[in-house]
Structure 1
């Protein structure tokens, strides 16, 4: 075979390959167009959401942190609202602890384990409040006060730590990881450490998820009205470290309602968000105690979620409908530290919402995120 013949064959092979590739692309395009036309003329059969729990009461958001008349501009990566959200999401029941005559005895052991005891080691006397709340008061050191819900085992502990010379000395404050360990040990002493905590949300510095926070550093500043916490820039200035714990993302396979095809199940993984971002409802203030670092203040509300079944589905608003509610002033503004009334919305996503208040179901929300710490929530259920 001559060199000329070889060149001709190579050119023909190249042309053939090109024609083959173009043919394949045309076939793929034609198939997709055909499927699109078929779906528009004969939409896939889709069952409606199950609405297993009947009509749900709407989410009761707290009062927004600001009540400005905002205007909004989409500044997402695409410049548009998401187009790939499902038309439904699963709703999960919150597990309710039943009242029990033994609960008060259990809580007495809890408060005794963290030092609410008299000199002889017996638990301090309790003060009954409005059922199911009980209070214990410590008359030494930081004068701690703890109020327990003896049904849910949620609690709030406060103290006079801001004026304590022991706290001001910062003798036993070391770093953020040690503060996390102190907070976990505090919960472990009472046997209240939840099994659905995602510690990586607390331990990750510079987390790209802006709705969580690495432990925050504070120093104590003296003012005429009393001592207050102010943000500290470095550990050498720190007297108090705040630690927040977060629950794991909700991950499940949801029935899409389609009766045939490969898309009958959709895998979802959505975060749980709380009312006062970037904080949770499980917060601990760690400072120097008489003999080591200790929790001087804590607010703990944790809800157990029954995630065993994702079949309870409810229709959700479209992104356009949720954005219209945001523009209409019907969203809950969770946080914003800016001054501009025009908010560039940089991200839109779905999440679940948990509050400190009584809640029967874990329900989804739309989250609109913007600059200067802007977060707005819109209930997603139609």
Structure 2
């Protein structure tokens, strides 16, 4: 039979080694949990294949560039092409179909723009209005798409070159937006970047100048708002811009004079090529690797939207969407290469195995 001393000794030993064992178990548990978490973070489970909801889609048809590149040089900050996702969303931009109300909608649009007379019809889908007061003007409307061009002959009123009242670039942007809002032509997604350019009269034509103080007219080009990918907590996970065939031209542009008395003399020209996009209807598609896109560009693929000279020095690569300014079934992702001498080049990003073949 153990003595009281022996019992106390073994009790102390049990507590000692039991405590050591418990600490060891806790350490192993925390270390093991950390190792598992690290392994999961560094070896994430592969994503399921892109869903390709719209099936095979037609590839982007770029316009003729007319620019010849003799050499490409990659000079990004890291000297590398960078890392990009393996998939992107294709956005639905359903084409408008011809219908019985096309003419009525075009006539209503013309009325809002101040053209009240009966139009001529140069083609099946084109209506043309003309007016002579307060300035000779022409309005061409595609009755199916709703795209239009409005031009007033500023040359008919020399006073426009004298009574200039430009306050600031921001005020001119607000004036252009106010005009579009007043005729119900300022959709919510036409709130992206704005480009302001300055123009002066030289004979009967306009030439670009460098400052507001020298300008007889100011043009505001408007681009579509960036498309944002939102997380569960409403944080922005990714953001992509929209790029037009001419990077300097928005899908909507407004040329304004400095006149302040008559609105119809202030708005000199409007080019409106906004296409509706259904941002709630998207499809997930696989995209090319940036290495594939880079090789395609160097081998003469893609589209050179802008370049002064014949040598392309690439400083930045990003993903975005091609906004053609025309009817297109989908807004498609592109790789955008930018760099020296106003270089802007596009390569279609959708992988070839999900592109329609003729």
Which residues of structure 1 form unaligned runs of 5+? 1-25, 117-122, 203-212, 256-264
Q: How much does 1:100 deviate?
A: 4.2
TM-score, structure 1 length as denominator? 0.75
Match of 1:306 in 2: 278
Tell me, yes or no, if structure 1 residue 326 matches structure 2 residue 297: yes
Tell me, yes or no, if structure 1 residue 190 matches structure 2 residue 190: no
Match of 2:254 in 1: 284
Tell me, yes or no, if structure 1 residue 365 matches structure 2 residue 346: no
Q: How much does 1:141 deviate?
A: 3.9
Q: How much does 1:115 deviate?
A: 2.5
Residues 257 and 268 in structure 2, CA contact (< 8 A), matched pair in contact too: yes
The verdict on how the C-alpha distance between 1:254 and 1:129 changes in structure 2, with shifts beyond 3 A counting, is farther
Residues 166 and 288 in structure 1, CA contact (< 8 A), matched pair in contact too: no
Deviations 1:26-77 (CA, angstroms, capped at 9, x unpaired): 99998799669x95xxx834322111111111101111152x2331121111
137-146 vs 364-373, which deviates more? 137-146
> Aligned to 1:381, which of 336, 341, 350?
350
Question: C-alpha separation between the residues in 1 aligned to 2:92 and 2:328?
Answer: 9
Question: C-alpha separation between the residues in 1 aligned to 2:318 and 2:124?
Answer: 39
5 Å matches for 1:191-230? 191-198=184-191, 201-202=193-194, 213=195, 215-222=196-203, 227-230=204-207
Deviations 1:333-356 (CA, angstroms, capped at 9, x unpaired): 11123x3x3322100000001112
Match of 1:132 in 2: 125
Question: C-alpha separation between the residues in 2 aligned to 1:333 and 1:166?
Answer: 41
Tell me, yes or no, if structure 1 residue 50 matches structure 2 residue 38: no
Question: C-alpha separation between the residues in 2 aligned to 1:82 and 1:157?
Answer: 43
5 Å matches for 1:224-373? 227-253=204-230, 267-289=237-259, 291-292=261-262, 294-310=266-282, 312-337=283-308, 339=309, 341-373=310-342
Match of 2:75 in 1: 75
343-352 vs 284-293, which deviates more? 284-293
Residues 145 and 327 in structure 2, CA contact (< 8 A), matched pair in contact too: no
Match of 1:107 in 2: 106
TM-score, structure 2 length as denominator? 0.80
RMSD after superposition: 2.9
Which residues of structure 2 form unaligned runs of 5+? 1-30, 352-358
